[in-house]
Structure 1
Amino acid sequence: MLQNLPQDPVILLSVINTKLRDFYPSLDQLCKEMEVNKKELTDKLDLIDYAYDASCNQFV
């Protein structure tokens, strides 16, 4: 569920990448602790052609 996150994909991208950089070692950890549906999140960011890159722990 993405209810507590921005609905605009570009703003969502910024928020998620900041959280990954500053607080979470992986997307799985972020989704678990923030109770976010990983597929829903990745699908939303895929709309603006961004995909998670585990090697840099960011959506690129």
Structure 2
Amino acid sequence: MNTLPNDPHLLVSVVNTKLRDFYDSLDALCDDMGVDQDQLVLKLLGADYTYDARLNQFR
């Protein structure tokens, strides 16, 4: 996750923007960016954000 912000609140903003503008799923984002999906989800879960696949965003 070197290309993404370390702060979870900045991270969720960047990830949600990328999901909205470029990717139709979290899987696609992680595959394309070379990000470990489990690590990303756990980092954001630590700040009380969870992924909603129906909305394709963290909330």
* TM-score, normalised with respect to structure 1: 0.96
Aligned twin of 1:57: 56
Structure 1: where are the runs of 5+ without partners?
none
Identical pairs, percent: 56
Aligned twin of 1:37: 36
Q: For 2:8, give the aligned amino acid.
A: P
Q: What is the alpha-carbon distance in structure 2 between the residues aligned to residue 25 and residue 32 of structure 1? A: 12
Aligned residues: 59
Structure 2: where are the runs of 5+ without partners?
none
* TM-score, normalised with respect to structure 2: 0.97
Structure 1 position 19, deviation (Å): 0.2
Q: What is the alpha-carbon distance in structure 2 between the residues aligned to residue 11 and residue 20 of structure 1? A: 14
Superposition RMSD in Å? 0.4
Structure 1 position 6, deviation (Å): 0.3
